[in-house]
Structure 1
């Protein structure tokens, strides 16, 4: 099981456990917040960047969604998993990210650049350049 598969498996476990612990009172937003915490824990080396990516995911894909029962959808999780792939320097598994996502994530990386290890920053910028995000 690779890092992305483990992340998706753990996210599904969070969703399952929340449903079991809160019968009839499911909150997709609360589940997504727990998944964001998982995402941040998985990226302790650059925690601020991971937190900014997670906040972007929440703001763009989760908050304001009227269908709380379905959150997070598999598409939502695929998007966050693609962000994990980006942070893992795996440019091949980021296809779930739209051009708009990549541009926003590039801006986030630029804002957080001083706190990102140089090797990670270089890898991220290479992916953004390859995807012609600029």
Structure 2
């Protein structure tokens, strides 16, 4: 099982356990907050960068959703999956779900944390940002 498959499995478990541990009542905000924490844990080697990305996903796409009760929807799962692929510096991943604003935010987050990142990780992320047209 690769990193993305495990991450997706963990997301599904988080959703399932939220429902099971709360008498069958699903709380999307609570579950999505746990998914954001899962993302941070998965990427703890990136420190504050992982926190910035998970906060961005949660605040921009989940809490701003018109259908919060049914989050994370498939689109937002695909989006956090793309963010995970970005953190893994996976050049083969499908990033089509990410918008120009997403890439600009990723660029800004990486710029803010550049001095704290491993040089290889920084270079790989900057290459992905460049490939997706977010360098000025």
Unpaired stretches in structure 1, ≥5 consecutive residues: none
Question: CA RMSD of the aligned region, Å?
Answer: 1.3
Greater fraction of residues in helix: 1
Stretches of structure 2 lacking an aligned partner (at least 5 in a row):
none
CA distance in 2 between partners of 1:21 and 1:119 (Å): 40
TM value normalised by structure 2: 0.91
Alignment of 1:48-63 (within 5 A): 48-63=48-63
Shift of 1:92: 2.5
TM-score (norm 1): 0.93
Kindly tell me the number of residue pairs found equivalent between the two proteins. Answer: 134
Q: How does 1:39-118 map to 2 (within 5 A)?
A: 39-93=39-93, 94-118=95-119
Decide whether the 8 Å contact of 2:29 with 2:69 is kept in 1.
no
Deviations 1:20-70 (A, max 9, x none): 111354211110110111111111211211111000101110113242331
